Structure 1
Amino acid sequence: MNKSELKDFLDEKVIQYNNFDFIESDPIQIPHSFSQKEDIEIAGFLSATIAWGNRKMIINNSKKLMDLMGNSPYDFVMSHSEDNLDSLDKFVHRTFNALDAKTFIKSLQHIYKNHNGLEAVFSKNQEENSMQKSIHEFKKIFFEVEHLQRTQKHISDPLNNSAAKRINMYLRWMVRNDNKVDFGIWKTIPTSKLSCPLDVHSGNVARKLGLLKRKQNDGKALAELDLALRKLDKTDPVKYDFALFGLGVFEGF
């Protein structure tokens, strides 16, 4: 199909999947159970962090993590003591364990107390058409707290050629405002700078549609896909994540 037909096809798929029904089988349902901005962004960040593997397991473990935080993530982050953190001792999601979870809670407190919160940190270092440098700088700030070296692997660095799928997904959640799935509670980052959460599903569909040639799902592939999607919609390119993901996961395209 030509470019115009491809755009029409993908726009149709965005409408099909970018709606309330999408939430019930996606990890974004976790932050959707909260109403306070800080609760939404912390619940979203932690859920996105462990969003790899079986989707049902991701959702169940994200709910478990919220339960261990008394279902008040912001209050837990800001007022926890070392004893409170013991409640996380049995938490594990694949290679993300209790030690990692405790470091993440301490780091989030550090970010809210000393850097004005998650939005403020991600808003810095934006480039003209990219959030990748912002993500790189965010990781440096995130690990200003004492931590084990192993915990660093749970936040990707796009400047090391990572596609940083989970953080790009998280940014979509916080920045895009569709009044359905994505929250749009961060006003300091334009949707035009967002990148598609590139994973095996969206990558395979993008290749079949001629949007992506590179075989690996890495930072270079993400840059290539970003360029292609911005040609379809320069103001909201990441809306096509719904189309690519939906075609791959729900339709086996």
Structure 2
Amino acid sequence: MPQELAKRSEEQVLKLKPFLDEWVDRVETPAYIDSDPVLFMHAFSDREDQLLAGFFAAIMAWGRRDVVIRKVRDLLERMDHRPTDFITRFSDKDAARFRGFKHRTFKPVDMEWLTRILQSILHKHDSFEHFWEACYKKAKGNDRPLMSVFHEDFFALQPGTPRRTYKHISNADKKSSCKRLYLYLRWALRKKSPVDLGVMNFMPPSELMIPLDVHVARQARALGLLCRTYNDWWSVGELTEALRLLDPEDPARYDYALFGLGVDEEGIPEEFLLNPSFAS
């Protein structure tokens, strides 16, 4: 039977704001970039290169960050560090570039078909942001989660994509937390950040959901911001709703605070703990 957790009232959540704001300021600094996959967006000056390199970096952000960085660097080297040009000109013979590539459950066939889909997006929509914008408007018009429409329309562009590749793009209809896609949108949408580039504008940062991974969820439960015990789509909504009380215009900024608390050796001070069994 799932453990029953205590949850903060709205008034109690607001009392956490000074503590969490301090942690955001401590973690969200330029020094953060070099040890995080977001560095691949910063590595390019061309906006489309930033968006495409960042997309691969985000969907591969699974496991230790140093390993992720090494694998993304390997992938971009296979693209000659020119992701837009490589994707736009991709042909059957270029599939050999991915031979031997592996990261977690990503295999060469996945990178080939993800590249083919991105090529279709660039040919049909001119830019990756225009595709995101079309998905966003469709989701709004049909009252569906953005990540459900994104998944659906992404793979519709290449119906021959192997089913195994579908798992690499999250789907809110499957109740996934969609952590990696919302991490990407955090990088691409948040403005005036020393880390996140804010190079897309199709959606306001106020609508971002928290990129929920196991570490962020653990700290959120310890603080009493999240009482659901599964890391799924409903937990994303519950935690994001709590964080919007702290900053309605930019709730995703608190991803930095929860991440920082998760890696801090001292952990959460006892005075802020509501569910101590989840403390680091």
* TM-score bin, normalised by smaller chain: over 0.9
Tell me by how many angstroms 1:80 deviates: 1.8
Match of 2:271 in 1: none
CA distance in 2, matches of 1:21, 1:213: 32
Match of 1:140 in 2: 152
CA distance in 1, matches of 2:242, 2:111: 36
Instruction: Give ranges in structure 1 of 5+ residues lacking alignment.
Output: none
Q: Does 1:249 align with 2:260?
A: no
Match of 2:136 in 1: 125
Amino acid at match of 1:7: K
- TM-score with structure 1 length normalisation? 0.94
Tell me by how many angstroms 1:202 deviates: 0.4
Tell me by how many angstroms 1:149 deviates: 0.4
Match of 1:51 in 2: 61
Match of 1:110 in 2: 120
Q: Give per-residue Cα distances to partners, 1:86-129, cap 9 Å, x unaligned.
A: 1111111011000000001100000111133321222233567x
SS across alignment from 1:56: helix
Match of 2:214 in 1: 200
Tell me by how many angstroms 1:38 deviates: 0.5
Match of 2:49 in 1: 39
**Identity, % of aligned positions:** 39
CA distance in 2, matches of 1:100, 1:207: 35
- TM-score with structure 2 length normalisation? 0.86
Q: Does 1:188 align with 2:202?
A: yes
Match of 2:182 among 150, 168, 183: 168
CA distance in 2, matches of 1:179, 1:207: 26
Q: Give per-residue Cα distances to partners, 1:122-170, cap 9 Å, x unaligned.
A: 2233567xx9722211112211212100100001101221100000000
CA distance in 2, matches of 1:95, 1:237: 31
Match of 1:231 among 217, 228, 245: 245
CA distance in 2, matches of 1:116, 1:134: 20
Higher RCO (CA < 8 A, seq sep 6+): 2
Aligned length: 251
CA distance in 1, matches of 2:182, 2:120: 22
When Rg is computed on C-alpha atoms for both structures, the one with the higher figure is 2
CA distance in 1, matches of 2:117, 2:218: 35
CA distance in 1, matches of 2:144, 2:172: 6
Q: 1:239 to 1:142 in 2, by over 3 A?
A: same
8 Å Cα contact 2:90-2:119 kept in structure 1 = no
Match of 2:29 in 1: 19
Q: Give per-residue Cα distances to partners, 1:183-234, cap 9 Å, x unaligned.
A: 1011121000001110011000001111000011100111100110111110
SS across alignment from 2:230: coil
Match of 1:151 in 2: 165
